Amino acid sequence: MKIKEFAVERYFAQYEFTAKYLLSSSDCDGYPMEFVLNLASAEEKERWNNLKLGYTETRGSLELREAIQQHYRTIELDEIIVSSPGEANFILMNVVLSKGDHVICMAPMYQSLYEIAKSLETDISFWEPDQQQQDWYYDPAGLEKLIRPETKLTIVNFPHNPTGFSPSRVDYQRIIEIARKHNLILFSDEMYRFLDHNPKETLDSACDLYENAVSLWGTAKTFGLAGLRLGWLTSKNKEILQKVENFKDYLSICNSATSEVLATIALNHMDKFVQPNLQKIRRNLELFSEFHQQNKDLFDFSKPVTGSTAFIKLKIKGTALDFAEKLVKETGIMLLPAETFEYGDKHARIGFGRENFPEVLEIFGNYLASAAH
């Protein structure tokens, strides 16, 4: 198998643990272990203290799957398989796709969501945002136009990284109906689920709405628990999930026992994680909106409605990559350039999930004011 480097992750590898400030992270600050364990019920604490560090169930422990199940409307325990999100994505593509299949995915998009499909010698079409709209908008009609007789899979990601786009309920239903009408498997990456800035706008998981949808969610973004390295696929299509389980025997076989217990506690106390994250995102977003008002000549900004990121357009002569490289060298601020999303060279991602955002924004503002770009 030949696969291209994962540009976003390579860029993070370069700077995430060396740059002084991060302005582009998509996850919220990681919660301390103590915070998680202090929330545990007596039963959960006992499970943690008596945990045996042997192999675990391939699909995830019963307690974890029960904790996951409560956040879906129709999903049964045997319609869940726990895995790291990257592994889940890798396996799903491998069991669903064959050479020559046609796949549709959004652009820009988290690279592994299309790169693995590409490495399996499939043909990829990108569902692009509507350029006529001022804000980010993905028109379901544009998606339908891309469908061919050999289209097998459509990959969507709502809340969307990096733009913060989420469809209206009407458009979401249209996307589901398009998939159903053309008998497509719908892979719905919901890693940023419940991070809607207005919680009334939270969409149902695709797996609750369509029998051939496979949804992906995990602990990294919604919960601020990226270090657990846990996610899960949920689907009414049991045949696909069985194939995923079989393939997993060749990779991790099963999940980290400690992560499973901690994730179970988190899922059973979701609001305790999500509410502080949302408060932080809302506060930082307000600050950034004001910052944009003062710097409209330097970049375009479409305020996201969901998730923890935005994708701004820099009004610069050079490339976003050069701009980001100069910025990190001169200020220690890491900014993720559009090139890492293979989406031109003028955009950059902003992440709103970090406590020190106001401080980093001030340094960024001073830099912009003093530098002639």
Ligand X SMILES: Cc1ncc(COP(=O)(O)O)c(C=O)c1O
User: Minimum distance from CB of 349 to ligand X (Å)?
Assistant: 10
Residue 297 makes CB contacts below 8 A (sequence gap 6+) with 315
Stretch that binds ligand X, among 78-86, 96-104, 296-304, 310-318 (CB under 6 A): 78-86
Q: Which is nearer to ligand X, 231 or 304 (by Cβ)?
A: 231
Among 189, 196, 260, 339, binds ligand X (CB under 6 A): 189
- Is residue 115 a contact point for ligand X (CB under 6 A)? no
**In whole angstroms, what is the distance from residue 92 CA to residue 87 CA?**
8
Among 25, 61, 80, 85, binds ligand X (CB under 6 A): 85
Stretch that binds ligand X, among 40-48, 80-88, 99-107, 331-339 (CB under 6 A): 80-88
- Is residue 26 a contact point for ligand X (CB under 6 A)? yes
CA 315 to chain CA mean position, Å: 27
| Residue 78, SS3 per DSSP | helix
Q: Which amino acid type is present at position 58?
A: T
User: Minimum distance from CB of 210 to ligand X (Å)?
Assistant: 19
Q: Which is nearer to ligand X, 56 or 84 (by Cβ)?
A: 84
- Is residue 86 a contact point for ligand X (CB under 6 A)? yes
DSSP H or E stretch at residue 310: strand 309-314
DSSP H or E stretch at residue 350: strand 347-351
Site size with ligand X, rule: CB under 6 A = 13
Stretch that binds ligand X, among 12-20, 31-39, 81-89, 327-335 (CB under 6 A): 81-89
- Is residue 60 a contact point for ligand X (CB under 6 A)? no
Using CB under 6 A, which residues numbered 135 to 164 contact ligand X?
A: 157, 161
Q: Helices (H), strands (E): how many in the chain? A: 13, 13
- Is residue 195 a contact point for ligand X (CB under 6 A)? no
Q: Based on the number of CB atoms within 10 Å of its own CB, is 134 exposed (0-12), middle (13-18) or buried (19 or more)? A: exposed
User: Minimum distance from CB of 327 to ligand X (Å)?
Assistant: 21
Q: Where are the beta strands (DSSP E) in 64-209?
A: 80-83, 102-106, 123-127, 151-157, 185-189
User: Which strands, in side-by-side order, build the sheet including 347-351?
Assistant: 299-300, 309-314, 347-351, 336-337
DSSP H or E stretch at residue 271: helix 270-294
- Is residue 94 a contact point for ligand X (CB under 6 A)? no
User: Minimum distance from CB of 263 to ligand X (Å)?
Assistant: 11
Q: Which is nearer to ligand X, 155 or 278 (by Cβ)?
A: 155
Residues of this chain that interact with ligand X (CB under 6 A) are 26, 84-86, 110, 157, 161, 189, 191, 218, 220, 226, 231
